[in-house]
Structure 1
Amino acid sequence: MQQPSRTLVFGLNYPPETTGISPYTAAMAVGLVRRGHHVRALVAHPHYPEWKIAAGYGQWSRGENMNGVRVLRLRHFVPRNPTPFPRAFSEVTFGLRQVFTRWGRPSSIIAVSPALLSSALVRLRAAITHSRTPFVVWVQDLYGLGVVETGQGGGTGARGIRLIERWLLRSATTVVVIHDRFADRVHDDFGVSKERIQVIRNWTHLPALPTADVVSVRRSYGWSDDEIVVVHTGNMGVKQGLEHVVDAGRLAHLQDSRVRFILVGNGSQRDELQQRIAGQATTTQILPPLDDLSFGEILQSADILLVNELPGVAEMAVPSKLTSYFASGRPVLAASDASGITAQEVHAAEAGIVVPAGDPAALLAGARRLAADRQAAARLGANGRRYRETVLAEASAIQRFDSLLGDPTTDDAAKHSA
């Protein structure tokens, strides 16, 4: 009788966190359960993007069953200020917790990176104790490249990170990346053979959005009918460069422009942004994270959805918010490097326009440009929704993972299955 595949997932982020990598890790795990896998996930307590462990969590270890996935949460050090060194120490403490936890006999292992350092520690143990078990690294961000592009590290530290990332990716059985550009970088920069690289695109983690009562939602937030409302959602970190959005709001105020910028979410830069808003007249406002229903409503009630990136950020990540933006049917305004992955994705979907990153005047002008032609804006929004339904479908992504992990009875991994 065929034994079900036993998949062991290692990831820093997992629901109830709602932003970043967490929804994808959970959807992948649950999707595999629905396809007959036994899935166990070793994850952290919810703490992102607030960088504070959520109320009710924080035990040394905590087991849960979430939609058929056996989840074990491990307490680790969570820095109040996630600058590079505290964040690295945080990842190391989490990795050590994972390393010294009982793994059992999985038929396949998936490590989600970032976190790079904890994934490397997991890979080191796997090489010793589970050397014949297929090891998959799922690359959501290129870690070393991110350190360089955000200006958060350099010199010996950056070289060390790059060496660790190189070793991790080259030692994996398979490297899964979320974009073709990532595949090229993993091959060119780290020497991973193309045969061991698989591209599996991220998808929208939201259910089908019920039609929002736009008039009521806008009224509830105090938005006038004649305002151009530009909404940015998700993490408020260094790589988002959201200080430029506050400055665009200042220009809108000075020019008496009816453009309002809304930042929804939390993150390491939220307090600094709030202070920047308090120190100048601006049309930019900050809202706290929203539940799925309110999140879907605010996306549909905005005129424009914003992706904003720090100048220089081009190759390190594909913003996960784009998948949700495309599902909403609203046009996208991307303040991004013209040659970067974000710009390429927006152009591929024909779902919006791109303006230079770090230029508040260009950001404000882009919002006005989109709002000036409602028919064109509606067409861009419809294009994004179509792209999401065809290119970014969840079912096909989960099927790819299922096929990748394969039948544990047909390879060496069978010797490790229960």
Structure 2
Amino acid sequence: MKILICGINYAPDLTGIGKYTGEMGSWLAKNGHTVEVITGMPYYPQWEVSSSYKKRWWHRENVDGVKVYRCPLYVPKKVTSVKRILHEFSFVLSTLPIWIKKLFSRKYDVVISVSPPFHLGIVPLLYSKIRSTKIITHIQDLQVDVAKELRMNTMFAMERMILKGSSAVSTISKVMLKKIEDKGIASSNCLLFPNWVDENIIQPVAKKDSLRREFGLSQEDKVILYSGNLGEKQGLENIIEAAKHFRDNNSVKFVIVGSGGGEMKLKEMAGEAMLTNIHFHPLVSYEKLPALLAMADVHLVLQKKNAADLVMPSKLTSILAAGGCPIVTASEGSTLYKLIRKNQLGIVVEPDDHGKLVQGIRFALENSLEKFRDNARFYASRYLSKELILKNWETILLKLTNSKWEKQASLVLINE
């Protein structure tokens, strides 16, 4: 197949949507398909264009056998609702020269438009109509909060136009599929394409081989780890509040690994509270991720109340594959709550309540977690396998485009 992917984020992002889009593109290329990508300069999660891409404009590069077209975009230092919209629209406008060239070049079998930003889908949709090409809109996040906040009804109209104009709409969870169907999209046009983990790379590692020594931690320390995007609206301040309750226990260490818009606020809170039991570190390379995850006795997966019913957090997939025990914030009855409890993958506490978080941490430190760790690794291998999910995705693309291809793929079983 000849595949064109468009998304604001792509490899070499280590977290978030760009990580998954990058892995999808490289997997399809390695499996014999011709893949091209229109994307922005790498900037996530630190919200700053990577040093090697600064002062660069439109250019083309090869990433794992994929031809990648990089487009410049506005990246705000401090993210607000308005600045985020400007950031996203700057990328949409920046891609226009590439799309115009594509109108007069070879035809693709399928275009995959990755959302958010959802309004990015306008240009790929127009391209697909002009060139009579199949288009899949893949939704990682429905991204309606900003539109509600600014009362921008035109965004909802634009969203409906994109979804109804797509050959198919895919998303990452059954709950999100239902929400898309509620927008008037026929269930026959809705596809489940969940996020995954490479369980052959992210594997359990012995504590002695972890990054504890590199991070200045002893083998006897009890390590509470949060690794990922440090967003301003994730409730991460509860980690600081929880750390206060363990300040007199020298063996309990809180480690925060990542970057993002909320990083400075968290560091200021820790400094003001004069906490010596909390440590900040930048993200590590993907190759070091198994060793990073292995140093934790407990992993923190924090979600706001309204988020836990939409999607399994991407950081959780890696934790499970590494055989870690997560403490997950999720409201009772939510999809994430049911998933964790049903499969006994970890400890669940109420969101936005640092008291409940402290209780969960104490329980984890005082009890055996082997059952959770064994269940986590089994679940990841059975239901989150990168190879199985992407083989299934390949099959869907082939059926959609009616492409002739000899390979056969297994169907993925999603246990939600």
The match for 1:69 among 48, 63, 66 is 66
Q: Which moved more, 1:330-339 or 1:267-276?
A: 330-339
Call closer, same or farther: CA 1:191–1:284 in 2, change over 3 Å. Answer: farther
Distance of 2:300 and 2:330 partners within structure 1: 10
Distance of 1:405 and 1:204 partners within structure 2: 20
Residue 26 of structure 1 corresponds to: 22
Pairing of 1:141-156 with structure 2 (within 5 A)? 141-144=141-144, 146-147=145-146, 154-156=149-151
Pairing of 1:123-162 with structure 2 (within 5 A)? 123-127=125-129, 129-130=130-131, 132-144=132-144, 146-147=145-146, 154-157=149-152, 159-162=153-156
Amino acid at match of 1:343: Y
CA deviation string 1:122-176 (max 9, x = no partner): 324433x23x2111011111211x548xxxx52513x443333333222211111
Q: Is the 8 A contact 1:23 1:205 kept in 2?
A: no
Residue 388 of structure 1 corresponds to: 380
Deviation at 1:295, TM superposition (A): 2.2
Deviation at 1:409, TM superposition (A): 7.4
Q: With structure 1 as the length reference, what TM-score do the two structures score?
A: 0.88
Deviation at 1:39, TM superposition (A): 0.5
Q: Is the 8 A contact 1:335 1:356 kept in 2?
A: yes
Call closer, same or farther: CA 1:29–1:360 in 2, change over 3 Å. Answer: same
Residue 90 of structure 2 corresponds to: 93
Q: With structure 2 as the length reference, what TM-score do the two structures score?
A: 0.88
CA deviation string 1:74-110 (max 9, x = no partner): 1111111121111111111111222331223111000
Amino acid at match of 2:159: E
Q: Is the 8 A contact 2:239 2:354 kept in 1?
A: yes
Distance of 2:154 and 2:337 partners within structure 1: 30
Q: Is the 8 A contact 1:262 1:285 kept in 2?
A: yes
Distance of 2:164 and 2:156 partners within structure 1: 12
Q: Is the 8 A contact 1:231 1:261 kept in 2?
A: yes
Higher relative contact order (CA 8 A, sep 6+): 1
Amino acid at match of 1:138: H
Distance of 1:243 and 1:409 partners within structure 2: 47
Distance of 2:176 and 2:342 partners within structure 1: 16
Distance of 1:120 and 1:7 partners within structure 2: 18
Amino acid at match of 1:116: F
The match for 1:11 among 7, 30, 52 is 7
Residue 247 of structure 1 corresponds to: 241
Q: Is the 8 A contact 2:173 2:310 kept in 1?
A: no
Amino acid at match of 2:216: G
The match for 1:192 among 174, 185, 189 is 185
Residues 1:109 and 2:111 aligned together: yes
Call closer, same or farther: CA 1:26–1:207 in 2, change over 3 Å. Answer: farther
Deviation at 1:68, TM superposition (A): 1.2
Distance of 1:258 and 1:86 partners within structure 2: 42
Deviation at 1:350, TM superposition (A): 2.2
Q: Which moved more, 1:324-333 or 1:307-316?
A: 307-316
Call closer, same or farther: CA 1:276–1:369 in 2, change over 3 Å. Answer: same
Amino acid at match of 1:142: L
Residues 1:285 and 2:282 aligned together: no
The match for 1:398 among 377, 390, 404 is 390
Structure 1, unpaired ranges of 5+: 412-418
Residue 119 of structure 1 corresponds to: 121
State the Cα RMSD in Å: 2.2
Which secondary structure does the structure 2 equivalent of 1:219 belong to? coil
Pairing of 1:329-408 with structure 2 (within 5 A)? 329-374=323-368, 377-406=369-398
Distance of 1:71 and 1:303 partners within structure 2: 39
Identity fraction in percent: 26
Distance of 2:347 and 2:401 partners within structure 1: 49
Deviation at 1:278, TM superposition (A): 1.0
Which secondary structure does the structure 2 equivalent of 1:79 belong to? coil
Q: Is the 8 A contact 1:180 1:199 kept in 2?
A: yes
Amino acid at match of 2:114: V
Deviation at 1:316, TM superposition (A): 4.5
Deviation at 1:226, TM superposition (A): 4.3
Deviation at 1:17, TM superposition (A): 1.2
Distance of 2:203 and 2:160 partners within structure 1: 44
Q: Is the 8 A contact 1:351 1:383 kept in 2?
A: yes
Distance of 1:249 and 1:160 partners within structure 2: 44
The match for 2:231 among 237, 246, 258 is 237
Which secondary structure does the structure 2 equivalent of 1:21 belong to? helix
Residue 166 of structure 1 corresponds to: 160
Structure 2, unpaired ranges of 5+: 404-416
Deviation at 1:252, TM superposition (A): 2.0
Q: Is the 8 A contact 1:239 1:309 kept in 2?
A: no
Q: Is the 8 A contact 2:199 2:385 kept in 1?
A: no
Distance of 2:200 and 2:265 partners within structure 1: 33
Residues 1:298 and 2:292 aligned together: yes
Which secondary structure does the structure 1 equivalent of 2:69 belong to? strand
Deviation at 1:250, TM superposition (A): 1.5
Q: Is the 8 A contact 2:204 2:321 kept in 1?
A: no
Residue 215 of structure 1 corresponds to: 208
Deviation at 1:407, TM superposition (A): 6.1
